[in-house]
Amino acid sequence: MPANPPSLYPPIQPNRQGMLEIDDLHTIYWEEIGNPNGVPVVFLHGGPGAGLSPQHRRFFDPQHYRVILFDQRGAGKSMPLGEWRNNTTQLLISDIEKLRAKFGIDKWLVFGGSWGSTLALAYGQAHPERCLGFVLRGIFLCTAAEIDWFINGIRWFYPELYDEFAAPIPEAERGDLLKAYTTRLLSDDPAVYWPAARAWSRFEGRRVFLLPQEEEPASDTLDLGVGRLESHYMANLGFFSDEQLIRNVGAIAHLPAVIVQGRYDVICPPVSAYRLHQAWPGSRLRMIPDAGHGALETGIAKALVESTEQFKRNGRFD
Protein backbone atom coordinates (compact mmCIF):
# COMPACT_ATOMS: atom_id res chain seq x y z
CA MET A 1 0.00 0.00 0.00
CA PRO A 2 1.42 3.42 -0.90
CA ALA A 3 2.37 6.02 1.68
CA ASN A 4 -0.47 8.17 2.95
CA PRO A 5 -1.54 10.53 0.16
CA PRO A 6 -1.13 14.11 1.41
CA SER A 7 -4.70 15.00 0.49
CA LEU A 8 -6.30 12.71 3.06
CA TYR A 9 -7.65 13.99 6.36
CA PRO A 10 -5.68 12.95 9.47
CA PRO A 11 -6.37 9.53 11.01
CA ILE A 12 -9.51 9.46 13.11
CA GLN A 13 -11.09 7.02 15.55
CA PRO A 14 -14.78 6.10 15.49
CA ASN A 15 -17.17 7.97 17.77
CA ARG A 16 -18.84 4.62 18.34
CA GLN A 17 -18.87 1.16 16.83
CA GLY A 18 -20.78 -2.07 17.23
CA MET A 19 -22.33 -5.16 15.76
CA LEU A 20 -25.79 -5.47 14.20
CA GLU A 21 -27.48 -8.86 13.89
CA ILE A 22 -29.25 -8.83 10.54
CA ASP A 23 -30.52 -12.40 10.24
CA ASP A 24 -30.07 -15.81 11.84
CA LEU A 25 -26.70 -16.25 10.14
CA HIS A 26 -25.06 -12.83 9.70
CA THR A 27 -23.95 -10.09 12.09
CA ILE A 28 -22.30 -7.00 10.60
CA TYR A 29 -19.74 -4.63 12.08
CA TRP A 30 -20.38 -0.86 11.85
CA GLU A 31 -18.69 2.34 12.93
CA GLU A 32 -19.56 6.04 12.97
CA ILE A 33 -17.07 8.89 12.57
CA GLY A 34 -17.22 12.66 12.33
CA ASN A 35 -19.86 15.17 13.35
CA PRO A 36 -22.96 13.45 14.81
CA ASN A 37 -25.03 16.35 13.43
CA GLY A 38 -23.22 16.50 10.11
CA VAL A 39 -24.24 15.59 6.56
CA PRO A 40 -24.72 11.82 6.53
CA VAL A 41 -22.59 9.55 4.35
CA VAL A 42 -22.62 5.78 3.89
CA PHE A 43 -19.26 4.25 2.88
CA LEU A 44 -19.38 1.05 0.79
CA HIS A 45 -16.14 -0.93 0.60
CA GLY A 46 -14.93 -3.05 -2.28
CA GLY A 47 -14.49 -6.70 -2.95
CA PRO A 48 -17.07 -8.06 -2.31
CA GLY A 49 -15.43 -9.19 0.90
CA ALA A 50 -12.53 -6.73 1.21
CA GLY A 51 -13.81 -5.04 4.37
CA LEU A 52 -12.92 -1.70 5.93
CA SER A 53 -9.56 -0.04 6.52
CA PRO A 54 -8.89 2.86 8.92
CA GLN A 55 -7.80 4.78 5.80
CA HIS A 56 -11.37 4.75 4.53
CA ARG A 57 -12.35 7.22 7.26
CA ARG A 58 -9.99 9.83 5.87
CA PHE A 59 -11.80 10.95 2.70
CA PHE A 60 -14.20 13.14 4.71
CA ASP A 61 -14.03 16.38 6.70
CA PRO A 62 -14.97 15.13 10.19
CA GLN A 63 -16.28 18.56 11.15
CA HIS A 64 -18.82 18.48 8.33
CA TYR A 65 -19.74 14.85 7.68
CA ARG A 66 -21.29 12.08 9.74
CA VAL A 67 -19.95 8.90 8.12
CA ILE A 68 -21.34 5.41 8.64
CA LEU A 69 -18.95 2.66 7.58
CA PHE A 70 -19.62 -1.06 7.80
CA ASP A 71 -18.19 -4.44 6.86
CA GLN A 72 -20.58 -6.11 4.45
CA ARG A 73 -21.81 -9.66 5.07
CA GLY A 74 -18.91 -12.08 5.34
CA ALA A 75 -16.23 -9.34 5.29
CA GLY A 76 -13.81 -7.82 7.80
CA LYS A 77 -15.12 -7.94 11.35
CA SER A 78 -18.59 -9.11 10.29
CA MET A 79 -19.46 -12.67 11.19
CA PRO A 80 -19.20 -15.36 9.98
CA LEU A 81 -16.12 -14.40 7.96
CA GLY A 82 -16.32 -15.47 4.32
CA GLU A 83 -19.90 -16.70 4.66
CA TRP A 84 -21.45 -16.79 1.19
CA ARG A 85 -24.80 -18.25 2.16
CA ASN A 86 -27.60 -15.66 2.58
CA ASN A 87 -25.31 -13.25 0.75
CA THR A 88 -26.70 -11.44 -2.30
CA THR A 89 -26.76 -7.88 -3.58
CA GLN A 90 -30.42 -7.58 -2.65
CA LEU A 91 -29.65 -8.60 0.94
CA LEU A 92 -26.77 -6.11 1.11
CA ILE A 93 -29.18 -3.38 -0.01
CA SER A 94 -31.50 -4.44 2.79
CA ASP A 95 -28.60 -4.22 5.26
CA ILE A 96 -27.86 -0.64 4.18
CA GLU A 97 -31.48 0.27 4.82
CA LYS A 98 -31.36 -1.35 8.26
CA LEU A 99 -28.31 0.74 9.12
CA ARG A 100 -29.95 3.90 7.81
CA ALA A 101 -32.97 3.26 10.01
CA LYS A 102 -30.79 2.38 13.01
CA PHE A 103 -29.03 5.75 12.81
CA GLY A 104 -32.22 7.71 12.13
CA ILE A 105 -30.92 9.05 8.82
CA ASP A 106 -33.37 10.27 6.19
CA LYS A 107 -30.97 10.72 3.25
CA TRP A 108 -27.25 10.28 2.80
CA LEU A 109 -24.40 10.74 0.36
CA VAL A 110 -23.42 7.32 -1.06
CA PHE A 111 -19.66 6.76 -1.40
CA GLY A 112 -18.32 3.55 -2.94
CA GLY A 113 -15.37 2.24 -4.92
CA SER A 114 -14.86 -0.85 -7.09
CA TRP A 115 -17.52 -3.34 -5.90
CA GLY A 116 -18.62 -0.51 -3.61
CA SER A 117 -19.54 1.47 -6.74
CA THR A 118 -21.62 -1.50 -7.93
CA LEU A 119 -23.44 -1.69 -4.62
CA ALA A 120 -23.86 2.10 -4.50
CA LEU A 121 -25.58 2.09 -7.90
CA ALA A 122 -27.78 -0.87 -6.98
CA TYR A 123 -28.75 0.71 -3.66
CA GLY A 124 -29.44 4.08 -5.24
CA GLN A 125 -31.60 2.58 -7.96
CA ALA A 126 -33.59 0.65 -5.35
CA HIS A 127 -33.90 3.63 -2.96
CA PRO A 128 -33.33 6.90 -4.85
CA GLU A 129 -35.40 8.79 -2.30
CA ARG A 130 -32.74 8.01 0.34
CA CYS A 131 -29.76 9.39 -1.61
CA LEU A 132 -28.25 12.89 -1.67
CA GLY A 133 -25.73 12.04 -4.39
CA PHE A 134 -22.90 9.66 -5.27
CA VAL A 135 -19.11 9.58 -5.11
CA LEU A 136 -18.06 6.56 -7.17
CA ARG A 137 -14.59 5.19 -7.88
CA GLY A 138 -13.26 2.40 -10.12
CA ILE A 139 -16.58 1.51 -11.72
CA PHE A 140 -17.63 -2.14 -11.89
CA LEU A 141 -21.00 -2.88 -13.51
CA CYS A 142 -20.73 -6.61 -12.84
CA THR A 143 -21.33 -7.63 -16.45
CA ALA A 144 -20.19 -10.94 -17.94
CA ALA A 145 -17.61 -9.07 -20.05
CA GLU A 146 -16.05 -7.37 -17.00
CA ILE A 147 -15.92 -10.65 -15.09
CA ASP A 148 -14.28 -12.40 -18.04
CA TRP A 149 -11.73 -9.57 -18.18
CA PHE A 150 -11.00 -9.91 -14.44
CA ILE A 151 -10.31 -13.64 -14.78
CA ASN A 152 -9.01 -14.11 -18.32
CA GLY A 153 -8.43 -10.81 -20.10
CA ILE A 154 -5.82 -9.77 -17.59
CA ARG A 155 -3.37 -12.22 -19.18
CA TRP A 156 -2.72 -9.52 -21.82
CA PHE A 157 -1.11 -7.32 -19.16
CA TYR A 158 -0.04 -9.75 -16.44
CA PRO A 159 0.64 -13.09 -18.14
CA GLU A 160 2.84 -14.24 -15.26
CA LEU A 161 0.07 -13.63 -12.71
CA TYR A 162 -2.44 -15.43 -14.90
CA ASP A 163 -0.17 -18.45 -15.25
CA GLU A 164 0.43 -18.51 -11.48
CA PHE A 165 -3.34 -18.33 -10.89
CA ALA A 166 -4.10 -21.14 -13.34
CA ALA A 167 -1.25 -23.42 -12.24
CA PRO A 168 -2.97 -25.06 -9.21
CA ILE A 169 -6.01 -25.98 -11.31
CA PRO A 170 -5.91 -29.30 -13.23
CA GLU A 171 -5.51 -28.70 -16.94
CA ALA A 172 -8.92 -30.22 -17.68
CA GLU A 173 -10.61 -27.45 -15.62
CA ARG A 174 -8.63 -24.47 -16.88
CA GLY A 175 -11.19 -23.67 -19.58
CA ASP A 176 -13.39 -22.18 -16.83
CA LEU A 177 -11.18 -20.84 -14.06
CA LEU A 178 -14.03 -18.99 -12.37
CA LYS A 179 -15.99 -22.23 -11.97
CA ALA A 180 -12.89 -24.13 -10.86
CA TYR A 181 -12.03 -21.57 -8.19
CA THR A 182 -15.62 -21.06 -7.04
CA THR A 183 -16.00 -24.81 -6.49
CA ARG A 184 -12.90 -24.85 -4.32
CA LEU A 185 -13.55 -21.58 -2.50
CA LEU A 186 -17.07 -22.56 -1.47
CA SER A 187 -15.98 -25.96 -0.23
CA ASP A 188 -16.48 -26.74 3.45
CA ASP A 189 -12.99 -28.28 3.66
CA PRO A 190 -10.31 -25.83 4.86
CA ALA A 191 -7.64 -27.86 3.08
CA VAL A 192 -9.46 -27.07 -0.16
CA TYR A 193 -10.64 -23.48 0.30
CA TRP A 194 -7.60 -21.90 2.01
CA PRO A 195 -5.10 -22.45 -0.83
CA ALA A 196 -7.70 -21.23 -3.32
CA ALA A 197 -8.46 -18.14 -1.23
CA ARG A 198 -4.81 -17.18 -0.97
CA ALA A 199 -4.24 -17.69 -4.69
CA TRP A 200 -7.30 -15.60 -5.58
CA SER A 201 -6.30 -12.76 -3.27
CA ARG A 202 -2.74 -12.67 -4.66
CA PHE A 203 -4.08 -12.74 -8.22
CA GLU A 204 -6.08 -9.58 -7.58
CA GLY A 205 -3.88 -7.78 -5.09
CA ARG A 206 -0.76 -7.68 -7.25
CA ARG A 207 -2.46 -5.58 -9.92
CA VAL A 208 -4.31 -3.00 -7.84
CA PHE A 209 -1.78 -0.19 -8.22
CA LEU A 210 -0.31 1.36 -11.33
CA LEU A 211 3.24 0.99 -9.99
CA PRO A 212 4.49 -2.00 -7.98
CA GLN A 213 4.08 -1.64 -4.22
CA GLU A 214 5.80 -3.35 -1.35
CA GLU A 215 3.79 -6.49 -0.75
CA GLU A 216 1.85 -6.46 2.50
CA PRO A 217 1.85 -9.40 4.92
CA ALA A 218 -0.77 -12.03 4.12
CA SER A 219 -4.13 -11.48 5.80
CA ASP A 220 -6.38 -14.48 6.38
CA THR A 221 -9.34 -12.14 6.89
CA LEU A 222 -8.82 -10.41 3.56
CA ASP A 223 -7.95 -13.59 1.65
CA LEU A 224 -11.00 -15.55 2.79
CA GLY A 225 -13.46 -12.67 2.51
CA VAL A 226 -12.29 -11.61 -0.94
CA GLY A 227 -11.75 -15.07 -2.37
CA ARG A 228 -15.03 -16.57 -1.31
CA LEU A 229 -17.29 -13.59 -1.85
CA GLU A 230 -15.82 -12.31 -5.11
CA SER A 231 -16.06 -15.75 -6.67
CA HIS A 232 -19.59 -16.22 -5.31
CA TYR A 233 -20.80 -12.89 -6.67
CA MET A 234 -19.02 -13.23 -10.00
CA ALA A 235 -20.39 -16.73 -10.53
CA ASN A 236 -23.87 -15.24 -10.06
CA LEU A 237 -23.22 -12.11 -12.17
CA GLY A 238 -23.72 -10.02 -9.05
CA PHE A 239 -27.34 -11.18 -8.82
CA PHE A 240 -28.21 -8.65 -11.54
CA SER A 241 -30.13 -9.01 -14.76
CA ASP A 242 -28.30 -8.16 -17.97
CA GLU A 243 -27.05 -4.55 -18.01
CA GLN A 244 -29.28 -3.76 -15.02
CA LEU A 245 -27.15 -0.97 -13.60
CA ILE A 246 -27.00 0.87 -16.93
CA ARG A 247 -30.67 0.27 -17.80
CA ASN A 248 -31.84 1.68 -14.47
CA VAL A 249 -29.68 4.80 -14.30
CA GLY A 250 -32.79 6.87 -14.93
CA ALA A 251 -33.90 6.23 -11.35
CA ILE A 252 -30.95 8.29 -10.03
CA ALA A 253 -30.13 10.52 -13.02
CA HIS A 254 -31.54 13.58 -11.21
CA LEU A 255 -28.97 13.23 -8.41
CA PRO A 256 -25.43 14.68 -8.45
CA ALA A 257 -22.64 12.18 -9.08
CA VAL A 258 -18.90 12.15 -9.62
CA ILE A 259 -17.05 9.19 -11.15
CA VAL A 260 -13.33 8.93 -10.32
CA GLN A 261 -11.49 6.47 -12.54
CA GLY A 262 -7.84 5.51 -12.96
CA ARG A 263 -6.84 5.58 -16.61
CA TYR A 264 -4.73 2.42 -16.20
CA ASP A 265 -7.09 0.46 -13.98
CA VAL A 266 -6.69 -3.18 -15.06
CA ILE A 267 -9.16 -4.53 -12.48
CA CYS A 268 -12.09 -2.29 -13.44
CA PRO A 269 -11.15 -0.95 -16.91
CA PRO A 270 -12.14 2.65 -17.78
CA VAL A 271 -14.74 1.61 -20.37
CA SER A 272 -17.21 0.90 -17.55
CA ALA A 273 -16.80 4.36 -16.06
CA TYR A 274 -17.20 5.86 -19.52
CA ARG A 275 -20.35 3.82 -20.22
CA LEU A 276 -21.87 4.90 -16.91
CA HIS A 277 -21.04 8.54 -17.57
CA GLN A 278 -22.58 8.34 -21.06
CA ALA A 279 -25.77 6.88 -19.59
CA TRP A 280 -25.84 9.54 -16.84
CA PRO A 281 -25.51 12.94 -18.55
CA GLY A 282 -25.49 14.90 -15.31
CA SER A 283 -22.57 12.97 -13.84
CA ARG A 284 -19.00 14.26 -13.78
CA LEU A 285 -16.23 11.93 -14.95
CA ARG A 286 -12.73 12.50 -13.56
CA MET A 287 -10.25 10.30 -15.42
CA ILE A 288 -6.98 10.22 -13.44
CA PRO A 289 -4.14 10.00 -15.98
CA ASP A 290 -1.48 8.42 -13.75
CA ALA A 291 -3.40 5.89 -11.67
CA GLY A 292 -4.57 2.30 -11.61
CA HIS A 293 -7.30 0.91 -9.36
CA GLY A 294 -6.24 1.75 -5.80
CA ALA A 295 -8.26 4.31 -3.85
CA LEU A 296 -5.05 5.43 -2.11
CA GLU A 297 -3.10 6.18 -5.27
CA THR A 298 -2.19 9.85 -5.04
CA GLY A 299 -4.32 11.18 -7.90
CA ILE A 300 -7.36 9.10 -7.02
CA ALA A 301 -7.25 9.95 -3.30
CA LYS A 302 -6.88 13.64 -4.16
CA ALA A 303 -9.89 13.53 -6.50
CA LEU A 304 -12.03 11.72 -3.93
CA VAL A 305 -11.25 14.26 -1.20
CA GLU A 306 -11.84 17.13 -3.64
CA SER A 307 -15.21 15.58 -4.44
CA THR A 308 -16.32 15.42 -0.81
CA GLU A 309 -15.11 19.00 -0.41
CA GLN A 310 -17.11 20.16 -3.44
CA PHE A 311 -20.23 18.47 -2.13
CA LYS A 312 -19.63 20.09 1.26
CA ARG A 313 -19.62 23.54 -0.33
CA ASN A 314 -22.60 23.34 -2.67
CA GLY A 315 -24.14 19.88 -2.76
CA ARG A 316 -22.76 19.30 -6.28
CA PHE A 317 -19.53 18.21 -7.97
CA ASP A 318 -18.85 21.22 -10.20
Residues carrying an active site annotation: 114, 265, 293
Count of C-beta atoms within a 10 Å radius of residue 309: 15
CA proximity to 57, closest of 104, 8, 20: 8
Distance from C-alpha of 125 to C-alpha of 101, rounded to nearest angstrom: 18
**Which residues are CB-neighbours of 298 under 8 A, at least 6 positions away?**
2, 5, 6, 7, 291
**Which residues are CB-neighbours of 81 under 8 A, at least 6 positions away?**
74, 75, 221, 224, 225
288 and 139 Cβ atoms separated by less than 8 Å: no
Distance from C-alpha of 134 to C-alpha of 288, rounded to nearest angstrom: 18
